[in-house]
């Protein structure tokens, strides 16, 4: 049986091995691997008939559904690059991504296309919109529009030549300077990640994984890749309430659940059907530290399930995991390196830290991405050559090896287990998302309802961090219009980015020595005024 080398081969190899095995369930309908592989091939032929060139980008702006998965694997099958867009994003944010990486084909629904219509004219590289249903939204002139069913009727065609080092995806993640950054991943990154994660989770063909996280999130998409690598089934869920997750777990006999701490906190506040524990083999945490109380409650709800505590970053997909056998001994640890990766803890001068000495977490190996799309400066900050003599870098090696310097401070104990200490930058980690305070501030300034503003994260029991804003009134106004500002935030920000609180201030906000608004000073002052918040 052949091995998967390219992303879409995860499905085609599984279809060859077990064509009638269940691959994907959505809305009460289940597709076999043979059906899924056929649809992926049909999509590839369709976008090739539209003229998609090698490495050109296909944007996917949909909730979780069959078409989302087919396009995500069909674009690579054609030799293109898929760009998943979080369905929570607003039109302005979608337009930025479409412009930033020159998306050529956009896959979306008629309803979403209608919302995007006013901004699509600002996306000059876009040539075609593929709609999940036949409809005729008012799109800009010159933009081709094709219905999904018609696209899949195109004749089969071989995809462009590819190797596993070629880029296959661009995942957008918040950047420290505001605008999202496009993390470029290769076929090798994603296939190696699938094999690595599936190996320690011991995924198998009999598994049923629940895709509760967004597929635009690396850990969300990992549910597809790990399942398809092993021939397991994935259940797609767009939940409205945490109770919907529990119902799906019971109904579909889910064996593996990966989620972020805010969802787990909500789930532990509910009663779990007894049937869940009969099937759930493991639950895995990502996107922030799991509170000990939440972990304890999860283990009470599903005592038969093994807990996996994980740490990862989009730039290297997944970095560490804590084996279940170690959870009781060291529940605060993020574990050790996943298979086929090496995690280093380095000082600022690039030398290794001693045990229990804090340093920067540095990830090397097959999962290290290709950098940030069209951003040499940011790429150089995060992706750096490893110094000679570090880890496997012998002095005789001539070509550089790039590793991801995470920006996270960790320490390693004498037994080799890692512990998260803190972030070196000002990124806010809320609801499992990384949010740039600068991006929040830019949107607030665009409302013209503030004079000056600053955003920062504060610890929160369920969100990890909540977003707090301090703002002054605009010129000529005596006070902030808090109601209008809150409404503007809801209109222009995805739900996870909306500030939990906006505190009015007077006069110019304090500056640091560089003349910038002093975010750290304002955050410290806010915490002093709100002890225990």
What pLDDT, in 10s, does the model give residues 1-38?
678 899 999 999 999 999 999 999 999 999 999 999 99
Question: What tens digit of pLDDT does each residue of 419-430 get?
Answer: 988 777 777 889
Do 396 and 513 have their domain in common?
no
Mark whether 122 and 219 lie in a shared domain: yes
Nearest CA among 168, 237, 253, 232 for reference residue 36: 232
109-148 b/e with 16+ CB inside 10 Å = b? Answer: bbebbeebbebbeebeebbbbbbbeeeebebeeebeebbb
pLDDT in tens, 368-383: 999 999 999 999 999 9
**368 and 460 both lie in a single domain:** no
Q: What integer pLDDT is reported at residue 178 of this predicted model?
A: 60
pLDDT in tens, 480-489: 999 999 999 9
Domain presence at residue 347: yes
| pLDDT category of residue 289 using cuts at 50, 70 and 90 | confident
**Three-state DSSP string of 44-93:** HHHHHHCCCCCCCEEEEECCCCHHHHHHHHHHHHHCCEEEECCCCCCHHH
In this structure, are 390 and 481 located in the same domain? no
The 3 state secondary structure assigned to 362-416 is EEEECCCCCCECCCHHHHHHHEEECCCCCCCCCCCCCCCCEEEEEEEEEEECCCC
Tell me which of 423, 454, 481 is where a domain ends.
423
Percent of the chain with pLDDT over 70: 98
Distance from CA of residue 235 to its chain's centroid?
18
Instruction: Tell me the pLDDT tens digit for each residue of 218-233.
Output: 999 999 999 999 999 9
> Mean pLDDT across the stretch 94-120?
96
How many domains does the structure of the chain reveal?
A: 3
| pTM of this structure | 0.87
Q: What is the predicted pLDDT for the residue at 139?
A: 83
Give residue-wise pLDDT tens across range 115-162. Answer: 999 999 999 999 999 999 988 778 887 899 999 999 999 999 999 999
Give the DSSP H/E element, type plus range, for residue 96. helix 91-100
| pLDDT score recorded for residue 532 | 75
The dihedral sign for the CA sequence 435, 439, 441, 447: negative
Do 112 and 37 lie in one domain? The reply is yes
175 confidence band (pLDDT: 50, 70, 90) = low
- Would you say residue 274 lies in a domain? no
The residue count for the chain: 533
- Which one, of 55, 69, 77, 78, lies nearest residue 107 by Cα? 69
Task: State the residue range of the domain holding 438.
Answer: 428-529
Average pLDDT over residues 339-361: 95
Q: What is the residue whose two structure tokens read 């305070």?
A: 437
Number of H helices, E strands in the chain: 16, 26
Tell me the CATH number at 473. Answer: 3.30.300.30
Residue 358: is its pLDDT beyond 80? yes
Burial of 286 (0-12, 13-18, 19+ CB in 10 A): buried
- Which region holds residue 507: left if phi is over 0, alpha if psi is between -120 and 50, else beta? left
Which residue would you say has higher pLDDT here, 257 or 427?
257
Which two tokens mark 272?
């779990």
Residues 463 and 386 in one domain: no
Calpha distance 171→309 (Å, rounded) = 23
Question: So what's the pLDDT on residue 1?
Answer: 61
Q: Residue 124's domain is classified under what CATH number?
A: 3.40.50.980
The pLDDT value given to residue 513: 62
Whole-angstrom Cα distance, residue 352 to residue 371? Answer: 24
- The answer to whether 64 and 238 are in contact (CB under 8 A) is yes
């Amino acid at each position: 049986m052949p091995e998967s080398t390219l992303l879409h081969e995860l499905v085609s190899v599984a279809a060859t091995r077990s064509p009638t095995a269940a691959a994907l369930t959505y809305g009460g309908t289940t597709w076999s691997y043979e059906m899924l592989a056929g649809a992926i091939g049909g999509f590839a032929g369709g976008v090739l008939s539209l003229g998609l060139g090698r490495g050109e980008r296909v944007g996917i702006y949909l909730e979780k559904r069959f078409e989302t998965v087919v396009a995500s694997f069909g674009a690579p099958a054609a030799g293109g690059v898929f760009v998943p867009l979080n369905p929570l994003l607003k039109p302005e944010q979608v337009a930025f991504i479409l412009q930033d990486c020159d998306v050529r084909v956009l896959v979306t629904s008629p309803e979403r296309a209608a919302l995007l219509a006013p901004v699509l004219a600002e996306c000059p590289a876009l040539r075609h919109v593929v709609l999940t249903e036949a409809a005729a939204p008012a799109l800009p002139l010159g933009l081709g529009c094709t219905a999904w069913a018609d696209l899949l009727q195109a004749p089969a065609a071989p995809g462009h030549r590819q190797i596993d080092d070629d880029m296959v995806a661009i995942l957008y993640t918040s950047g420290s300077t505001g605008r999202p950054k496009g993390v470029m991943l290769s076929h090798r990154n994603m296939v190696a990640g699938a094999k690595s994660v599936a190996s320690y989770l011991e995924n198998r063909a009999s598994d049923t994984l629940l895709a509760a996280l967004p597929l635009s999130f690396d850990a969300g998409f990992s549910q597809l890749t790990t399942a398809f690598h092993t021939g397991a089934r994935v259940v797609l869920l767009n939940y409205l309430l945490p109770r919907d997750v529990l119902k799906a777990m019971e109904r579909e006999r889910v064996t593996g659940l990966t989620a972020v701490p805010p969802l787990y906190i909500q789930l532990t506040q509910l009663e779990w059907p007894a049937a869940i524990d009969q099937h759930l083999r493991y639950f895995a945490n990502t996107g922030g530290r799991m509170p000990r109380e939440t972990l304890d409650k999860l283990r009470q709800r599903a005592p038969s399930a093994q807990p996996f505590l994980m740490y990862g970053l989009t730039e290297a997909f997944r970095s560490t995991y804590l084996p279940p056998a170690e959870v009781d001994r060291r529940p605060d640890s993020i574990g050790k390196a996943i298979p086929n990766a090496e995690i280093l803890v380095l000082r600022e001068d690039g030398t290794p830290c001693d045990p229990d000495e804090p340093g920067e977490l540095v990830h090397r190996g097959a999962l290290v991405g290709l950098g940030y799309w069209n951003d040499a400066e940011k790429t150089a900050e995060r992706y750096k050559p490893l110094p000679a003599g570090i880890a496997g870098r012998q002095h005789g090696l001539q070509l550089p090896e790039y590793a991801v310097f995470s920006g996270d401070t960790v320490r390693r104990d004498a037994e080799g287990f890692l512990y998260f200490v803190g972030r070196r930058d000002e990124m806010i980690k809320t609801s499992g998302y990384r949010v740039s305070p600068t991006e929040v501030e830019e949107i607030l300034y665009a409302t013209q309802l503030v004079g000056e503003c600053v955003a920062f994260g504060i610890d929160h029991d369920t969100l990890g961090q909540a977003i707090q804003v301090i703002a002054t009134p605009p010129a000529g106004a005596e006070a902030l219009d808090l109601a209008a500002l809150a409404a503007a935030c809801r209109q222009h920000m995805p739900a996870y980015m909306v500030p939990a609180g906006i505190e009015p201030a007077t006069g110019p906000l304090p500056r640091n020595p560089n003349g910038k608004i002093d975010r750290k000073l304002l955050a410290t002052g806010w915490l002093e005024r709100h002890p225990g918040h």
